[in-house]
Amino acid sequence: MSELKSRKLISVQEHLRDQVAGALRAALIAGELQPGVI
């Protein structure tokens, strides 16, 4: 049971990371972020 819970937590973290990466990519494409700021 705890293994399933930890696996779900990992998948949630990966989903959040994908959302952050997508948002950063969209911001770069829109020109809101200049390369080198991060």
Give the predicted TM-score (pTM) of the model: 0.57
Q: Quick one: pLDDT at residue 28?
A: 85
| Per-residue model confidence as pLDDT tens for the chain (38 residues) | 678 888 999 999 999 999 999 998 998 888 876 666 55
| Residue with token string 């700021």 | 37
DSSP character at residue 36? T
Q: Which of 13, 35, 15, 14 is nearest to 24 (CA)?
A: 35
Q: Quick one: pLDDT at residue 29?
A: 87
